[in-house]
Amino acid sequence: MDLDSGTSSTVGARVQAIPGRPAQHGALYQFKQQNLPACKPVLTPATVIASFLLMGFIFIPLGLITLRASNSVVEIVDRYDIECIPEELRSNKLLYITDDSISKNCSRFLKVPKSMRAPIYIYYQLDNYYQNHRRYVKSRNDKQLLHGLGDNSTSSCKPLESSGDLPIVPCGLIAWSVFNDTFKFSSGSSELKVNRKNIAWKSDRNHKFGKDVYPFNFQNGPLIGGGKLDPNTPLSDQEDLIVWMRTAALPSFRKLYGRIEEDLDADDVIVVQLMNNYNAYSFGGKKKLVLSTSSWLGGKNDFFGVASLFIGTFCMLISIVFLLLHVKNPRPYGDAMYTSWNKKSSSS
Amino acid sequence: MMNAMNVPSKRSTLERKLDKLILTLFATLFVMCFIGAVGSAVFVNKKYFYLHLESSEEGGAQFDPRNRFLVFLLTMFTLITLYSTIIPISLYVSIEMIKFIQSTQFINKDLHMYHLETNTPALARTSNLNEELGQVEYIFSDKTGTLTRNLMEFFKCSIGGEVYGTGVTEIERGIAERSGKKIEENISSNAVREKGFNFDDPRLMRGAWRNEPNPDNCKEFFRCLAICHTVLPEGDESPEKIKYQAASPDEAALVIAAKNFGFFFYRRTPTMIYVRESHVEKMGKIQDVPYEILNVLEFNSTRKRQSVVCRYPDGRLVLYCKGADTVIYERLADGNNDIKKVTREHLEQFGSSGLRTLCLAYKELHPDVYESWNEKFIQAKSSLRDRERKLDEVAELIEHDLILIGSTAIEDKLQEGVPACIETLKRAGIKIWVLTGDKIETAINIGYACNLINNEMKQFIISSETDAIREVEERGDQIEIARFMKEEVKKELKSCLEEAQSYFSSLSGPKLALVIDGKCLMYALDPSLRVMLLNLSLNCHAVVCCRVSPLQKAQVTSLVKKGAQKITLSIGDGANDVSMIQAAHVGVGISGLEGMQAVMASDFAIAQFRYLADLLLVHGRWSYLRICKVVTYFFYKNLTFTLTQFWFTFQAGFSGQRFYDDWFQSLYNVIFTALPVIIVGLFDKDVSASLSKKYPELYMEGIRNVFFKWRVVAIWAFFSLYQSLIFYYFVSSSSLSGKNSAGKTFGLWDVSTMAFTCVVVTVNLRLLMICNSITRWHYISVGGSILAWFIFIFLYSGISTPYDRQVSFSLHSEAGNLIIPR
């Protein structure tokens, strides 16, 4: 539709100087006369084809690079929530998890598909677990976590606010439901050392959880949701709790458990001794153990690479189609004959 | 005051359509909330033990699975506050801001619409209607002072059957040009030119009239001009310095003409008029003659004439009368048929040249006749009831058996550039209706002169000046006249409509023009005939209504406005155009000679008709384009943002958890996406001003409203849907395995910040894609907005690290508490 010939043009002064008035050339004058210098992006076949081509050239390599990065990550995912129940109890999972007398010990054998370089991150993954439910997300008290007991109101922690007269420290659903499965790893005969320090975000440890706050009355109530905390360790050192309390965005999430700081070779078999304490059975959740190395792009995720490749290829195809159309059907530009009103009159 | 109407408050059509869009958004909001609330009621289950759903603490009812209906209701309210961002509240503020700047800075300051001679810039008196200017389909224009300059100049005259005056009118020139002839003009150097007088004929000037075949007639002609008027002289009593104060410019022009012919009216007392007459008794002799004014029978619109009874110094009693040709001819004495016939021909000739004509006549009065009439006159004048009517009746008694002197022709020149402007507007698909108080011939000629009508057009003329109607009128029965007229008009309309439709179906038929006069219009506007009139006139490319009253002007305007649902614009300059200006969607006043009433009633005021092209084709079109872009873009950006939130609801157990931090959500419209769209609303233009005027057809897009159709909105909605899905699923799918360099995973607020970054960056860059021209302010505002987000998040994370962002959520529980009394 654009009838300007060039792909970009600077509009010159529209108005001659009016006699009797001083000629004005400032930006304000240009603004008022709507004459600001502007570039006009005109969609000519050349620019369109070129830009699609360019997008193809950007996205295909980008996709390849990210796919490569994703492929370089070795990831072992093991779902253990069902396997860890003794056969005879699988029909009644709730009984299994709520009965304290049944042993929760469980062993898993993981085969390393490719050699894994240290550090190897250990995550636990929960599926169908709504840490992002509104009731859950708000059920905490940040002031209490940082400053401990005080005159702070803990009403936000409802429904797990206080035990007896004192507020629970830390109060709220999130803390109450802290994850408490534990994992021990060994390879062959030697135990693999798991570093469980420094698994929480530094800002959380330093600025959100107090050094003088001790969970002295935690998990004393009649209902027990998750793990217990050592009453003699300040919250800022309870890294499992800190990790747990950074609530996840989606109902499937991973949280860091620790790091194995040794390389693992291909075809090694890792034995995992785990305590299957946490109740994910009542709501049909899944529990998984994830061992993963890391690349410069993070964990294993093919999605972005595949998506980029798809976009890049698509742009390439479009540019080729446009090119063919243009070669087959060229027409001059800036011809008023092609404007809508002229077309209409010629067709009628 | 009879024509006064209530002053309407005007809103633009686009804004009214915007309301519908907002309503649709509300409906969408409701549907989204409903889906979410149903989901929430289904989701709540005590199996999610970690949520403690069945506890009985206060405020716990929001998610209590034992009462799912209550869950549904409460979640509904939560979600309404959560999704309220879908309603672009800031849109109205932004639009107001944009329009304000458009009108005060662009329209008011445009040098193309600045009239140097009168030092008048264009004036937008409201900022509501800028984009309405881009969609006008019908223009209703006044004639005098709007199409013409309202500068009356004595141009020609016909005295005793002889035409004087050598000038050529613009209309004649136009006609000649159309027929291919060329007119050579010989402007003699000694022609007298002054304001109000553009006449040159050596046969009359400087006393030469004495040698004409009819010097007595000439003398009476000049005396009539000098005596029969209500003009007041002002200033020095010398021909050069005197100023005349007249009720209408025509009257002043006539007195000025008399002065130039040597009959200089220089003083008025309550009973006397003093005229300095030259060359009367013999060449070169100048004498001051006092005439005693006995009676003034004033002009009004029903009489259409004006008379003065005066006594000469020698005691002679003479009545001078001037008025419209129709009324004068009715009152002429018998005999002298030659002159009558010739003069009538001259009148038609003047009329077709677009001149305004008046007939002059006089009558000697016998003192006895006069005395007896004067008694009646005084009686009528002192009567308390119906004085106007009685005076008219008394005047009727004496204004008969007149002797025709001749006629005057006054030119009201077309304004500069009017024909070109009308041509341009016509090409833009705008239909122009001229509504004038002039007679049918003058109106048609003006139509020709300004390119509105041409010979290729098929003209339908519906006039009350037919023999059949005249005959009935002469019988004088008002009811009969009305009935007959209505039948006639109906018949005419029907036949015209049928003919028009036959042209219409044949496709290649000629363009149509309709000419209708005020009397017929009165009947045609009757509810039973209204539809027919509308159908006929909408098929015409040009419509001329002549001899219409101010109220009829307004009626015709609202007929099209309401009947055809098209956007109308009225333009006029006088007090008689006020009701029409108020009735139309957009009223434009010409800040000209006839006072300020039209301007005070108008929405836009311009100095010259030709600026209408700039106002509509440039400012109107751009405003329309820009506002459409702003509105649809606002719709898009808020929908996109809200939809990401909506998708999150599905994965948060329908609990109404916020995806975005409170601050992000509230600053989204205020800081991160506010400025660029305003810049587009101010600076975007598809083609330059000169191309807009060179290709007026571009304007048709506005008439068809192609930029704000539901289809356009649907396309934007599709983009929102698609982009929000991409934002949400790209971010959420990467969040599972996403980790930082130390292997730590991301929480809810990390992921939402990521998603918000995607939204802000994409929405801002998407704006650049809809721009037709990109100035440096576009880059600055878009870049600045994105940068502002990054700076904000940098600072905000630092400040709010000590506490997680939970404060806002108390608001929802408060809302919950309002619903359930504790």
The two most distant CA atoms of chain B are separated, in Å, by 125
Contact A133 B772 (CB under 8 A): no
The mean pLDDT value of chain A amounts to 84
Chain A residue numbers with beta carbons less than 8 Å from the beta carbon of B746 are 248-249
Q: How many residues does chain B have?
A: 822
ipTM over 0.95: no
Q: What is the DSSP string of A61-82?
A: HHHHHHHHHHHT--EEEEE-TT
pLDDT band at B817 (very low <50, low <70, confident <90, very high): very low
What would the mean pLDDT of A302-327 be, rounded to a whole number? 93
Token look-up 């106007």 returns B388
pLDDT band at A9 (very low <50, low <70, confident <90, very high): very low
Question: Do B501 and B392 share a domain, yes or no?
Answer: no
Known binding-site residue numbers of B? 142-144, 251, 299, 322, 356, 436-438, 547, 553, 573, 576-577
Q: Nearest Cα to B355, choosing from B156, B166, B109?
A: B156
Q: Is the pLDDT of residue B5 over 60?
A: no
The mean pLDDT value of chain B amounts to 84
Question: Do B172 and B130 share a domain, yes or no?
Answer: no
pLDDT digits 0-9 by tens, B507-532: 667 788 888 888 888 888 888 888 88
Interface of B with A in 671-710 (CB under 8 A): 683, 685-691, 695, 697, 700
pLDDT digits 0-9 by tens, B425-434: 988 989 899 9
Question: Do B127 and B174 share a domain, yes or no?
Answer: no
Domain of residue B344, CATH code: 3.40.1110
- Residue B267 domain-assigned? no
pTM for the predicted model, two decimal places? 0.83
- Between the CA of residue B611 and those of A174, A233, B123, B697, what are the distances in Å? 70, 82, 12, 18
Question: Do B325 and B428 share a domain, yes or no?
Answer: no
pLDDT band at B73 (very low <50, low <70, confident <90, very high): very high
- Residue B812 domain-assigned? no
Question: Do B541 and B569 share a domain, yes or no?
Answer: yes
Model pLDDT, residue B815: 33
Chain A residue numbers with beta carbons less than 8 Å from the beta carbon of B802 are 142, 146, 207-208
Model pLDDT, residue B668: 92
What would the mean pLDDT of B678-684 be, rounded to a whole number? 92
Question: Do B215 and B320 share a domain, yes or no?
Answer: yes
pLDDT digits 0-9 by tens, A139-188: 888 888 888 877 667 777 877 777 777 888 888 889 889 998 999 999 88
Contact A348 B507 (CB under 8 A): yes
What would the mean pLDDT of B473-502 be, rounded to a whole number? 82
For the question of residue B661 being annotated catalytic, the response is no
CB B62 within 8 A of CB B77: no
The DSSP secondary-structure symbol of B318 reads E
Q: Which among B112, B657, B734 is the nearest to A304, CB-wise?
A: B734
- Residue B239 domain-assigned? no
Model pLDDT, residue B7: 63
CB A251 within 8 A of CB A128: yes
- Residue B319 domain-assigned? yes
Chain A residue numbers with beta carbons less than 8 Å from the beta carbon of B811 are none
CA distance B659 to B646: 9
Six token digits for residue B430: 């705008």
Chain B residue numbers with beta carbons less than 8 Å from the beta carbon of A311 are none
pLDDT band at B619 (very low <50, low <70, confident <90, very high): very high
Question: Do B612 and B659 share a domain, yes or no?
Answer: no
Q: Nearest Cα to B222, choosing from B170, B301, B303, B154?
A: B154
- Between the CA of residue B265 and those of B157, B272, B278, B362, what are the distances in Å? 19, 11, 11, 18
Please tell me if residue B804 touches chain A, with a CB cutoff of 8 Å.
Answer: yes
Model pLDDT, residue B819: 32
Question: Do B653 and B606 share a domain, yes or no?
Answer: no
Six token digits for residue B395: 């005047």
Mutation target among A94, A133, A339 for the B interface, most CBs of B within 10 A: A133
Question: Do B447 and B532 share a domain, yes or no?
Answer: yes
- Residue B626 domain-assigned? yes
- Residue B17 domain-assigned? no
Q: Which among B748, B751, B802 is the nearest to A208, CB-wise?
A: B802
CA distance A316 to A333: 24
Which helix (H) or strand (E) is B407 found in, with range? strand B403-414
- Residue B607 domain-assigned? yes
Please tell me if residue A2 touches chain B, with a CB cutoff of 8 Å.
Answer: yes
Domain that holds residue B773: 81-103+618-798
Q: Which of B354, B386, B413 is the last residue of a domain?
A: B413
Between residues B765 and B736, which one has the greater pLDDT? Answer: B765
Q: Give me the number of domains chain B comprises.
A: 3
Q: Which among B112, B652, B777 is the nearest to A133, CB-wise?
A: B652
- Between the CA of residue A326 and those of A45, A329, A332, B685, what are the distances in Å? 7, 5, 11, 27
Q: Is the pLDDT of residue B401 over 60?
A: yes
Interface of A with B in 187-216 (CB under 8 A): 198-201, 203, 207-208
Question: Do B476 and B515 share a domain, yes or no?
Answer: yes
Q: Which of B110, B142, B338, B661 is catalytic?
A: B142
- Cα A231 to its chain centre, rounded Å, is 33
Which helix (H) or strand (E) is B178 found in, with range? helix B170-179
Question: Do B90 and B171 share a domain, yes or no?
Answer: no
CB B380 within 8 A of CB B396: no
Six token digits for residue B553: 């002007």
Q: Nearest Cα to B524, choosing from B510, B514, B511?
A: B514
Q: Which of B397, B413, B429 is the last residue of a domain?
A: B413
Chain A residue numbers with beta carbons less than 8 Å from the beta carbon of B110 are 32-34
Q: Nearest Cα to B323, choosing from B419, B199, B228?
A: B228
Contact B655 A250 (CB under 8 A): no
Q: Is the pLDDT of residue B803 over 60?
A: no
pLDDT digits 0-9 by tens, B315-327: 888 999 988 887 8
Q: Which among B48, B60, B687 is the nearest to A3, CB-wise?
A: B687
Chain A residue numbers with beta carbons less than 8 Å from the beta carbon of B658 are 134
Most confident of A22-26, A61-65, B524-528: A61-65
Model pLDDT, residue B180: 67
Neighbours of A38 (CB within 10 A): 23
Six token digits for residue B797: 């994370």
pLDDT digits 0-9 by tens, B346-364: 888 887 777 888 899 998 8
Q: Is the pLDDT of residue A208 over 60?
A: yes
Indicate left, alpha or beta for B235 from its phi (over 0: left) and psi (-120 to 50: alpha).
left
Q: Is the pLDDT of residue B811 over 70?
A: no
First to last CA, chain B: 63
Mutation target among A1, A34, A223, A344 for the B interface, most CBs of B within 10 A: A34
Domain of residue B125, CATH code: 3.40.50.1000
Peptide bond into B696 cis (omega under 30): no
Q: Is the pLDDT of residue B190 over 60?
A: no
pLDDT digits 0-9 by tens, A240-253: 999 999 999 999 99
Interface of A with B in 245-264 (CB under 8 A): 246-256, 259
Q: How many residues does chain A have?
A: 348
Q: Which of B389, B413, B437 is the last residue of a domain?
A: B413
Question: Do B740 and B768 share a domain, yes or no?
Answer: yes
Token look-up 């057009």 returns B457
- Residue B736 domain-assigned? yes
